[in-house]
Amino acid sequence: MMYLGKVYVSYKPSVFDPQGDVIKTSLHQLNFQGVESVTQGKYFEIKLVATNLTEATANLVKMAEELLINPNTETYQYAIDEIEVL
């Protein structure tokens, strides 16, 4: 089976994200005065083959924790669905 995993990586709230801060300043300059905070993260789309959803999910979690994030500063969320192979 083919699966599509989507992994969203973001900084832990305790970690300062200077890019987010600069983007926030720019948004204020564009008159979006209501912007309270901006955090820039990372988004990955991973297509993978697995025998079932449980195995695909376990693999995706392992990938996220072994490479995609640095647990010192980052956390992640994910979604995974079976996709059709054309």
Partner 1 sequence: MKAAVIQFPGSNCDLDMLNALQLFGVEAQIVSHKATSLAGYDAIFLPGGFSFGDYLRCGAIARFSPIMTAVTTAAAAGKLIVGVCNGFQILTEAGLLPGQLMMNETPGFICAEVPITVINQQSQFTNQYQQATITLPVAHGEGRYYADEATIAQLEANHQVIFRYQTNVNGSAEQIAGIVNEKGNVLGMMPHPERAVEAIIGNIDGQDFFRSILN
Query: Which DSSP string do the residues of 52-82 spell out, in sequence order?
Result: SHHHHHHHHHHHIIIII--TTTEEEEEEEEE
Which one of the spans 10-18, 25-33, 56-64, 75-83 is the region binding partner 1 (CB under 8 A)?
Answer: 10-18
- The three-state secondary structure class of 34 is coil
Nearer CB in complex with partner 1: 2/63 = 63
Nearer CB in complex with partner 1: 52/73 = 73
Helical (H) or strand (E) element with 26: helix 18-29
Judged by CB under 8 A, does residue 15 bind partner 1? yes
Interface residues toward partner 1, by CB under 8 A: 14-16, 18-19, 22, 67-68, 70, 72-73
